[in-house]
Structure 1
Amino acid sequence: MTEMVRKITLSRAVRIMQNLFPEEYNFYPRSWILPDEFQLFVAQVQMVKDGDPSWKPTFIVKPDGGCQGDGIYLIKDPSDIRLTGTLQSRPAVVQEYICKPLLIDKLKFDIRLYVLLKSLDPLEIYIAKDGLSRFCTEPYQEPSPKNLHHIFMHLTNYSLNVHSSNFVHSDSANTGSKRTFSSILCRLSSKGVDIKKVWSDIISLVIKTVIALTPELKVFYQSDIPTGRPGPTCFQILGFDILLMKNLKPMLLEVNANPSMRIEHEHELSPGVFENVPSLVDEEVKVAVIRDTLRLMDPLKKKRENHPSRCGFH
C-alpha cells in the first residue's frame, strides 16, 4: 500500500483512468512525472500557452517519497532553475497548482479524511464521517513571483504550519489552525451551501481513487495471500488529503498509506524542552476512526444486538 500511494504511482494510476474516463476523473490536477516526462511537461505547457496567451499557470513540485511537506515548492515556469536542479537528485511529480481554493477566514485549508479499506475482493470501503481541516497560517493570495516562497500561505501541511508564529492550538472544534471538518460543513451550511452535495462529491472522489488503485493492489495481495487461504485478511486506514475549490468542487491532493494517529501535540516549554499536550480536535476524530475500524474488522463478528452504537463511518 505504501508503494501504491507514493506520488508517482498514484499519479500514474489516476492518469490511466483519466485517459479512459476523463469526465469521471477530473478531480486530480494535471500532473507530470519527473524526470521521465520533463520534455512532455515543457511541450504541453508551451502548447497551452500558445493557444491561450492569457494563461498564467503556477505549478507545485512534490518529491515522490516526500512527506509532511518536505521538499515541496512552487514554480511559475518549467525552465525554473530549481526544477532543472531537482531533476537529477530525486524523482517528483509536478502538478498544476489550484489557484482558486475555498477560503475560510481568508485562509487556505485542506481536509484530511480517513478511509478504511476493509477488503479488496469484494471491494469494501468505509469513509469516516468526520475528518480534520488543516489551515494555512498566512492569509491567502493567488501565486505571484513575490509570494511563491510563502509556504505558510500556500502549503496546508500541518507539520510545516505548526512552526509558524501564527499557528493557533485550539481546544475548540471550530477555531484554530486545525479544526474538525464537520465544523467547516456547519459553517458552509449556515451560508446556504448544499453540504449533502459536497459530501457526495467527496465520497465519489474517494471511491474512484480506490478503484484506480485496486487492480495493482490485487496483484500484490494475491502474491502474498493466495485466494482461499484461511486466517485473517488485511485492512488499511488511508489518509486522503482533499482541497475544496472556490466552486466547492473537491480535488484530490494525495493519499497517505500511514496517516498519523497522534492525538497530542508538542508544546515547547523552554528552548529544547517539550511536553505533549492533548489535542481535543485530533482526539475527537481519530479515536472514533480507530474504535470503529476495530469494530468493523472484528474477526469474531460478535453479535452486538445488545450494544447498538452509532458507527462513525459511511
Structure 2
Amino acid sequence: MTSTPNHGSSLRSIPSSQQSGRFLQVRMAKVNDPSWKPTFIVKPDGGCQGDGIYLIKDPGEVRIMASIQNRPAVVQEYISKPLLIDRLKFDMRLYVLLKSLEPLEIYISKDGLSRFCTEQYQEPNHKNLHHVYMHLTNYSLNIHSGNFIHSDSTHTGSKRTVSSVLYRLLAKGMDIKKVWSDIIALVIKTIIALIPELKVYYQVDIPPGKPGPSCFQILGFDILLMKNLKPVLLEVNANPSMKIEHEQELLPGVFENVPSLVDEEVKITVIRDTLRLVDPGRRRSNQNR
C-alpha cells in the first residue's frame, strides 16, 4: 500500500428527498450550455451490488420511481463520456486503509480491480437507459450477462487488475503517473471530507482519555476515468467485498464457486499488508522466532 500526505476538500451528494430544490438548481446551472444534455443516475440509499439503480433523463421521474421502490435515493449526474477500453465502459475499485484518525494515516493499495461492462457502450438515450450491462459496471450484475468473460489472466476478461489497465494506457502514450497522482488526490480529499463525522462516531465508542482498542477500516473506492483521464469518484464502500471466488455455471441453473485469480492477487495482498500495518509489533515478533 502507498502512504499518503494530508490535504483538504469536501464532497456532497443530493438526496432524492430534496431533489425538488437543490436538484433542479443543479440542472438550471447548466441551462446556458447547449451541449449539455444531462442523464442522471439514481442509487437507492443503503443499496449494494447495483440493486435498484436506474437512469433517467427527466428529474421528475425520480419521484415516480421513488414511490414505487419506497426508499430514499441519491441522485447524481451520469458521466456520459467515460474512457473506454475495447469499446466497453469500466471502473476501478481501489482499496484504502484508514489506519488512524489522530494522527490521520491513509494507505492506498498499489493495485485494484477493473470491472468491465459486458455490452459495448453508447451514450445514454431513451432507447438504451435500461441496458444495465452497458451502463453499470457492477460485477454482481454483469456476471449474469452471456458476454461476461472469466479469465485466468489478470490482463484480460471482464474483471482485471487496475495495473493491467494502466499499463495498456501507458502503451498508448498516456500519462499514467498523472492519472495515479490525481487518483491519490481524490482519495485524500474524500477522506478529509469524512473525518469530522468519523470522529464523532469514534468518540462515542471511545471517549477522549479512555484507553481503548486501536481502530482501522478498509474502504473500497469506486473510480471512473473520463475520456480526458480525469478520475471521478463514483462512491465509497464502507464494507467492500473480500471474496476471492466467483460463481461459474456448470449446467443450466447449477453453479459452483471457483477461485478467481484476479481477486486473489489483489485482495490477499490488501489483507496481508493491512495486518502488517495495523500490528507491526506482531510482525517483528514473528520474524524473531
1:1-314 paired onto structure 2 within 5 Å: 31-46=13-28, 48-49=30-31, 51-80=32-61, 83-88=62-67, 89-298=70-279, 300=281, 302-303=283-284
Q: What is the RMSD computed on CA atoms of the aligned residues?
A: 2.1
Contact 2:206 2:212 in 1 (8 A): no
Amino acid at match of 1:192: G
TM-score (normalised: structure 1) = 0.84
For the residue of structure 1 that corresponds to 2:272, the secondary structure is helix
Contiguous gaps of at least 5 residues in structure 1: 1-20, 308-314
Question: Could you report, residue by residue, the CA deviation over 1:245-293 in whole angstroms, capped at 9, with x for unpaired residues?
Answer: 0000000000001111111111122233221110000000000000000
Instruction: State the partner residue of 2:5.
Output: none
Q: TM-score, normalised by structure 2?
A: 0.91
- Which secondary structure does the structure 2 equivalent of 1:303 belong to? helix
- Paired residue total: 280
Give secondary structure in 1 for the equivalent of 2:160. strand
**Is the Cα contact below 8 Å between 1:232 and 1:299 reproduced in 2?**
no
State the alpha-carbon separation in 2 of the partners of residues 263 and 126 from structure 1: 21
Shift in Å at residue 301 of structure 1?
A: 5.1
Q: Distance in 1 between matches of 2:102 and 2:256?
A: 44
Which residue identity is paired with 2:63?
T
Letter in 2 for 1:84: R
Query: Match of 1:189, as an amino acid?
Result: L
Q: CA distance change for structure 1 residues 302 and 84 in 2, over 3 Å: closer, same or farther?
A: closer
Q: CA deviation at 1:230?
A: 2.8
Question: 2:173 aligns to what SS in structure 1?
Answer: coil
Kept in 2: contact 1:60–1:74 (CA 8 A): yes
CA distance in 2, matches of 1:179, 1:76: 31
Tell me which residue corresponds to 2:4: none
Deviations along 1:17-72, whole A, 9 cap, x unmatched? xxxx8xx66xx6x85211123233234424532x2344211111111111110111
Contact between 2:248 and 2:255, CA under 8 Å: does it hold in 1? yes
Structure 2 segments unaligned to the other structure (5+ residues): 1-7
CA contact (8 A) 1:109 1:135 kept: yes
CA distance in structure 1 between the aligned counterparts of 2:208 and 2:59, rounded to whole angstroms: 47
Amino acid at match of 1:151: V
Q: State the alpha-carbon separation in 1 of the partners of residues 238 and 34 from structure 2.
A: 40
String of CA shifts for 1:76-105, please: whole Å, max 9, x gaps.
11123xx22233421111111111101011
Change (3 A) 1:219 1:47: closer
Q: 213-222 or 52-61, which moves further after superposition?
A: 52-61
Q: CA deviation at 1:146?
A: 1.2
| Distance change (3 Å), C-alpha of 1:267 and 1:302 | closer
- 1:205 positional shift: 0.4
Question: What is the CA–CA distance in structure 1 between the aligned matches of 2:267 and 2:26, rounded to whole Å?
Answer: 42
Change (3 A) 1:258 1:305: closer
Measured in 1, the distance between the counterparts of 2:158 and 2:76 equals 25
The 8 Å contact of residues 113 and 160 in structure 2, kept in 1 or not, is answered as yes
User: What is the CA distance between 1:160 and its match in structure 2?
Assistant: 0.4
User: 1:237, 1:207 → 2: CA distance?
Assistant: 14
Task: Give how far 1:228 is off.
Answer: 3.3
The residue identity in structure 2 corresponding to 1:281 is V
Residues of 1 paired with 2:285 and 2:87: CA distance? 46
Conserved in 2, the CA contact under 8 Å of 1:31 and 1:96? no
Distance change >3 Å, CA 150–CA 232, structure 1 → 2:
same
